[in-house]
Structure 1
């Protein structure tokens, strides 16, 4: 995701950005701050701390469990939806606030430009197909790119095979990316990236009714499907125990913690929540000569720079947070995963789909929709469509 500063009025005005975002590159551009060791160390520490909180919140929410993901895709349980919508509602609220405060608006604009830069060469068709593949992979393996590290940290069986598949999927996409891009690249640039552009209103005016409506949906889901019954938690498992020792927390608490992470990431790191790009950075470390760069120009762009490495720090820290949380509650290693072959296949699908879509459930779902990006809205719909179709097909086959 690019860190390019907006230079024209159309790039910085919330209602008139036009197609200037198409000039942003899809990969990070190092800023002057990246050359200052102390600044890099500070941003790295913030990334790690945010990842730690993210890992704890997700582990306590139980949405990293394959059975929970599958149950959501089959609409049998709604824990995943509650946590996701709570995170989105809280994140959208804070992003909207950051967009109107004079002392935070510049940081908000930079992070928004970074997000759009990451998908500037993609159109609705390519994003939708990639998101559908991602959703299908989620139904197969029961996780998404941003939660693989959390599964490993929590000791989910065969999660390492999911990681191996995810790295393989990233490599595969890196090799075929020129062909995929040529087949799916839009003939004309996207004119309106954000819903408020289309409506001709400032971001906060549009986001306020949206996150209010999402809040009502979350509240209604909890009223109809209380979280204690969906997770089957007993009062004795929670009462009298330290917070971290509880096996699970209310989805409102977990979702709020995740949504609040948008604030430090935007203000200090200059990015929004995301996870799938870290696999590109890891795989790019194997590119050591010009021949390899020619083989995958796409992956070679992710090799260096803090703007690439912050997600690696974030995901590694999330695995640590998950491990600490699971260990403190005695839940480490208690969650069953899928078989090694299924984990490998699902891992490949989720990262290939995420890279084709330009983001995952965190990048598109929490950050993109939180910014009211219309491409991300289409992506989220296709993620759930892919997940629902695949989950039902697998159920019929079993």
Structure 2
């Protein structure tokens, strides 16, 4: 079977993202994935326990369709492109030095994301701590990477620029300082 998928070039995908942002701005909406977690918690009744979750979630239910679209889009992309992306050979060597040998053969490194890896004490603690830090960081920053980098920067919001710079600095610290210590 011949696969029809190839990555969309920047001159197609970039204007599509920009067009979506223009529509959202014109409709007075803000885009972000972490806001969906707040909406889902509110739907689940968390507002009875925590003030933060007491809001009219029905006005934000449109954003839940974004989550459905991301999940559906990921599934379709996986079906149309079953070949793992090829990573630069220098990065492959660096990852192999850290014990990650599944590069260029799977979409995610199985040494980190397989069920076997997650069911170890180390894997569970990494998942738990990372999940807490991501959730805390998204709440503390007032949004997630997609919300700040796409929506906030499109609206020329200085706090979003500061958050995006912080995300990049945090990513660099993680990859160059913490990741080698963990693995």
Aligned partner of 1:313 among 65, 70, 83: 65
Pick the structure with greater CA Rg: 1
Change (3 A) 1:278 1:336: same
Partner in structure 2 of residue 274 of structure 1:
32
Which runs of 5 or more residues in structure 2 are unaligned? 85-104, 119-123
Change (3 A) 1:348 1:256: farther
**Are positions 1:253 and 2:12 aligned together?**
yes
CA distance in 2, matches of 1:381, 1:330: 33
Deviation of the 1:331 alpha carbon: 4.6
Contact 1:261/1:273, CA 8 A, preserved across alignment? no
Deviation of the 1:353 alpha carbon: 0.8
Aligned partner of 2:154 among 370, 387, 395: 370
CA distance in 1, matches of 2:130, 2:61: 24
| Matched ranges for 1:216-235 at <5 A | none
Deviation of the 1:252 alpha carbon: 4.2
**What TM-score comes out, normalization by structure 2 length?**
0.68
| Matched ranges for 1:1-398 at <5 A | 242=4, 245-246=5-6, 248-268=7-27, 270-287=28-45, 293=48, 295-301=49-55, 304-306=57-59, 308-331=60-83, 334-337=106-109, 338-339=112-113, 340=118, 341=124, 342-397=126-181, 398=183
Pick 1 or 2: higher relative contact order, CA cutoff 8 A, min separation 6: 1
Deviation of the 1:327 alpha carbon: 0.8
Deviation of the 1:241 alpha carbon: 6.0
Deviation of the 1:348 alpha carbon: 2.8
Q: CA RMSD in A?
A: 2.6
Which runs of 5 or more residues in structure 1 are unaligned? 1-239
Partner in structure 2 of residue 19 of structure 1:
none
